[in-house]
Structure 1
Amino acid sequence: MKGDLVTAPSGEVIELADIGLSRLLDDEIVRIWDVSLAPGECHPWHLHHNPYVVLSLQGSDGRMDWLDGSPPRYLSEYRGGAVYRPISPVHRLTNIGEHFYRNRLIELKDLGEHRKEPLDIGNGGRSTRGAVLGPPTADGRVAVLVHEHVSIWTVEIPASMHRELNLKAVPHVLSWIDLLDDSGVSVHQGGSLKVSNPAAHPRTLFVLELSYLEPVR
């Protein structure tokens, strides 16, 4: 967590940063962060205690470095893409691309800090640009990433219009791609939902279903 001290293999003592730049929402189920990096900018060393989802609002190329000296991991995130990730060793993220990068990072507390030990989710999942995961749902949602723990869609709301979303009776996180302050994220407890777009242009919404919270039958 922010302020914790860790020691690098070189012996250097490092103070960890927050998981994101600003905390947008925090309740019993999720903690949502904004992560924004200009080209060349780095988000400092930090540590995830919860499995988490990343919803990409603006894409760029990135490099993830590990404090333990493991080889870096190279990323290419794109607008409308998503990632489901396990907890991981201390790392930092650098925007090595030419474009501004921004995401919404959602920590899933019931898979991490609410348990004695975080759930081992394996490799999680990652969306693929251009992949077709099936036809749109009847209410217009297009699948981005489907995993047994989470399902993620995008849905476009036309200008000055609304859509009726028919969602499962489990909590959902909603995040507008083009609303960049904390008004752009919310949690819906499940079931039907009317989503309005008062703008004079179409807007796209991420819909993240927390499938792992579905009651066991």
Structure 2
Amino acid sequence: MNDDHGFILAREQGITLGEIGHRIFFENDLTRVWEVRLEPGETLGFHIHRHPYLVVSLEGGANRIETIFGQTIDVDEPSGHTVFINEKRAIHRLTNTSGVLYLSRLVEFKSEIWIYDGESN
């Protein structure tokens, strides 16, 4: 079985996936807006996205994305930075590696739902 997104590995390691943000800021039938708030050095645990999404940084700097497979991606997300993700990605976590607060709004577009291989037991 294919494990491109890490569901089998997460089960083997006993990892329970968390939410993609800290709180839902707004929601309707088409969108869900999450607040992501990370103090310096803080990590948002392993999670996966089920919809295309847009991230708008309100405050921030350097962050690190780490996939369940151990790949790390350093990203710079200063205030005003935006990124649109329209592809499935592996289970990952986000760590604020800067010395300042990271605060963003993550907007999920609920009209498209991603289903992943290997997700079911």
Question: For the superposition of Structure 1 and Structure 2, which TM-score range results when normalised by the shorter chain?
Answer: 0.7 to 0.9
SS of the residue 1:20 aligns to = coil
Write the distance in 2 (CA, Å) between the matches of 1:102 and 1:49. 21
Structure number with higher strand proportion: 1
Query: Residues 187-216 of structure 1: CA distance to partner in whole angstroms, max 9, x if unpaired?
Result: xxxxxxxxxxxxxxxxxxxxxxxxxxxxxx
Write the mapping of 1:84-163 to structure 2, written as runs, cut at 5 A.
Answer: 84-86=84-86, 87-110=88-111, 112-113=112-113
SS of the residue 1:44 aligns to = strand
Write the mapping of 1:5-24 to structure 2, written as runs, cut at 5 A.
Answer: 6-8=7-9, 11-24=12-25
| Counterpart residue number, 1:61 | 62
Contact between 2:38 and 2:96, CA under 8 Å: does it hold in 1? yes
Cα distance, 1:59 vs structure 2: 1.4
Cα distance, 1:88 vs structure 2: 1.4
The structure with higher relative contact order (CA 8 Å, sep 6+) is 2
| Counterpart residue number, 1:208 | none
User: Residues 34 and 10 from structure 1, CA distance in 2 versus in 1: closer, same or farther, beyond 3 angstroms?
Assistant: closer
Contact between 2:64 and 2:72, CA under 8 Å: does it hold in 1? yes
Write the mapping of 1:70-81 to structure 2, written as runs, cut at 5 A.
Answer: 71-81=71-81
SS of the residue 2:21 aligns to = coil
Write the distance in 1 (CA, Å) between the matches of 2:11 and 2:98. 28
99-108 or 6-15: bigger deviation: 6-15
One-letter amino acid of the counterpart of residue 37, structure 1: L
Aligned-residue Cα RMSD (Å) equals 1.8
Runs of 4+ in 1 over 4 A off after TM superposition: none
Cα distance, 1:11 vs structure 2: 3.0
Write the distance in 2 (CA, Å) between the matches of 1:18 and 1:60. 22
Write the distance in 2 (CA, Å) between the matches of 1:8 and 1:47. 13
User: Residues 39 and 28 from structure 1, CA distance in 2 versus in 1: closer, same or farther, beyond 3 angstroms?
Assistant: same
Q: TM-score, normalised by structure 1?
A: 0.47
Residue identity over aligned pairs, in percent, reads 31
| Counterpart residue number, 2:118 | none
Write the distance in 2 (CA, Å) between the matches of 1:60 and 1:7. 32
Contact between 2:10 and 2:16, CA under 8 Å: does it hold in 1? no
Unaligned stretches of 5+ in structure 2? 1-6, 116-121
One-letter amino acid of the counterpart of residue 76, structure 1: D
Contact between 1:7 and 1:13, CA under 8 Å: does it hold in 2? no
One-letter amino acid of the counterpart of residue 91, structure 1: H
Unaligned stretches of 5+ in structure 1? 1-5, 119-217
Q: TM-score, normalised by structure 2?
A: 0.82
| Counterpart residue number, 1:47 | 48
Contact between 1:57 and 1:79, CA under 8 Å: does it hold in 2? yes
SS of the residue 2:79 aligns to = coil
Cα distance, 1:7 vs structure 2: 4.4
Write the distance in 1 (CA, Å) between the matches of 2:99 and 2:69. 28
